[in-house]
Structure 1
């Protein structure tokens, strides 16, 4: 496709990644970001193999692997320490792992690359609230970007809406849509990881595990190893400690009540659930140290119009129950770039192709997240009891556990047994990696497996 004049709204994960892919393909990109001075903020996120695949294609995985914490397992237990979920990345192939990461590290990685890219111009401090059709230029449609002050910017041939779950630009799409705030959110705290080095220089298994403890459907505590702070936040000539993110489930309408109540009662509640987090709780001295995050369920029938593509949370926000939001956003950016790279398609056809490419993958993860969330964050205690009964049984059925693990990796591509093919930076011996599809019988077959190519990287974090 000939070079396009592209306007990207939002310089978060999806917007920055899409801008990089398209600029490197020869398109001219302008990013509009509402924050006057974008900087590294946030708490912990989980990068799955899908997200690492995209970053490797952008050649940006080195910094993320160096600053992140390797994850080998995801564990969820009840208050009584009854195992509900215990999933290992390595069960599906050597070299598979996740990364616990400070969100700011991913931001500084992507934004740093954006600033170095000659085909990208960044316009900070501009909040785009509407799109307006420009006069036709030949056969191509162009759109003006209208900011909060009513001023116009552009126009641009291709519009990428990547401005988050609260995007106002979905109204410009005639496609059916539904935006529903979740009644539950989470409090986040990033502190120093108390785990110690073993004599051989490695860290204990808990330092490589996303660990959750639940008590019914109303209480959930999580501990996510988060690696190291963004380099822009690190104090010069000061220690660069490993971090851990604590998250606590809370109803959105009770956050202010929680803040006014103070910390002692809440800390007692957390200790009763997980006494081992005491050294992290000691670092919390003020309620203001905990960030509150609210989540939305965004459903769109398709993720494009004639000249607009919707990416990331603006297109398909979910709760963080499966830890896939960042990874889905990165995959969006890659699939959009690949659709636009087809020289046989015009812009409208390429955007329709983008929606087709995303349909199966997003359908699975949106439905799975929507279905699971009430069992972990909700007001119906009976769902928590049902979860405690059913999930241990599911984990004992081989094909179901394999399906759960594939879901954790982010590679399930719809409901027909398909999986995505990955090219990963790996830490162990390189060998052909077969990611098996789930089958009802639990047996493998040559047709049910897709080999995922792997590439070696010295930057992969050690165990």
Structure 2
């Protein structure tokens, strides 16, 4: 269909919402993004863009800028805290790599792309519901109903109030902090390094590049924690935590000493992706998991590209939604199941599961066929999600919009 005829309303200015907005507006659609913040801003620390997410950003013309700000990752390496034995060693297929990047850096690039494409932003607009139909409307917390659209997108994440259902909150969360990269330390610039003690304690260090041109390189430091223990951790104070880090992973003590950690909780849920006629969920609003496989942002980018591609190729909105679901559902169902199975091996109170992990996974990754399979799993490439979307069939981008269609408050 001709995207120039479409009015699109998107609730949520995260990775999925902004990338979809930029893709659609760049191809002629009239797009409005509604977000509860006073101004669009990122939430979260650093993460790894896998080849799947990178393929979408390449199609958007952003990959070069992302690579300039991020750090190339060639290996994910996990050791036991006590004896240093390797229990996870995953690389990439020849010629491939991950890009570790600060969430703020990717957010800024996606926001700039959306503004350049002519996306209109309505900030301080908390969406509480979406009225489905052939002309759906968003309902704001103030009671105001927005103008009608041809398609409404819920990109509000796992806490979305639209067609909400009970989610399983995982027992473990994490403390996340962005800290200066230790230039003369022991950490490698091309690795995600992790340490484990059974499944009850995990920590990691990830180089994440620079937030903006000319900024200092940074790292993400994360520390797993039972959600029920967070208040006790806070009451114990900073020095107690630094002591715990020193005992668990001495080389990471300097990172903890300068960290200002934020506590993140995680939910596992899979909602029905269609929340009524012409209302579609993407990203964590549709499928949220633990961060163990690191697929959240990559999945959101794939969802956005899939829906944009389907809208370009089909004659009606309904047909486009059907194609989008066909392209994405198998991949999402598989990784939801995989995350549910694997998470307890790395974050749980079990003693049996981490023992089996330590004696099986590390040695198994040295076998060529097993190593190749694990690499494909971890990078999100199993079931060929990029090929199913057929990114190359996205209608070429329209000429850049000179004037923004709305004010960015």
Question: Structure 1 length as normaliser, TM-score?
Answer: 0.79
1:329 aligns with 2:328: no
Deviation sequence 1:256-303 (CA, Å, 0-9, x none)? 11111012222222122211113213324xxxx111111111213545
CA 1:214/1:205 → structure 2, altered by over 3 Å: closer, same or farther? closer
Q: In terms of mean alpha carbon deviation, does 12-21 or 298-307 score higher?
A: 298-307
Show the counterpart of 2:90.
87
| Match 1:220 to one of 174, 199, 202 | 202
| Match 1:358 to one of 310, 314, 328 | 328
Show the counterpart of 2:114.
114
Structural mapping, 1:57-456, within 5 Å: 57-79=59-81, 80-89=83-92, 92-94=93-95, 96-118=96-118, 120-133=119-132, 141-171=134-164, 179-196=167-184, 206-230=188-212, 240-284=215-259, 289-303=260-274, 305-343=276-314, 345-413=315-383, 420-421=386-387
Structure 1 residue 330 displacement after superposition: 0.3
Deviation sequence 1:377-398 (CA, Å, 0-9, x none)? 1121221112112212321332
Structure 1 residue 408 displacement after superposition: 2.0
Show the counterpart of 2:402.
none
Are the aligned partners of 1:303 and 1:311 in contact in 2 as well (CA < 8 Å)? no
Structure 1 residue 422 displacement after superposition: 10
How many angstroms apart in 1 are the aligned matches of 2:191 and 2:216? 18
How many angstroms apart in 1 are the aligned matches of 2:272 and 2:27? 28
How many angstroms apart in 2 are the aligned matches of 1:52 and 1:205? 24
Larger relative contact order (C-alpha < 8 A, sep ≥ 6)? Answer: 2
Question: Structure 2 length as normaliser, TM-score?
Answer: 0.90
Structure 1 residue 64 displacement after superposition: 1.4
Give SS of 1:282's match.
Answer: helix
Give SS of 1:378's match.
Answer: coil
CA 1:279/1:133 → structure 2, altered by over 3 Å: closer, same or farther? closer
Give SS of 1:270's match.
Answer: helix
CA 1:275/1:205 → structure 2, altered by over 3 Å: closer, same or farther? closer
Show the counterpart of 1:55.
57
How many angstroms apart in 2 are the aligned matches of 1:419 and 1:349? 20
CA 1:295/1:28 → structure 2, altered by over 3 Å: closer, same or farther? same
How many angstroms apart in 2 are the aligned matches of 1:116 and 1:224? 31
How many angstroms apart in 1 are the aligned matches of 2:275 and 2:28? 22
Question: Cα RMSD (Å) of the superposition?
Answer: 2.0
How many angstroms apart in 1 are the aligned matches of 2:147 and 2:331? 33
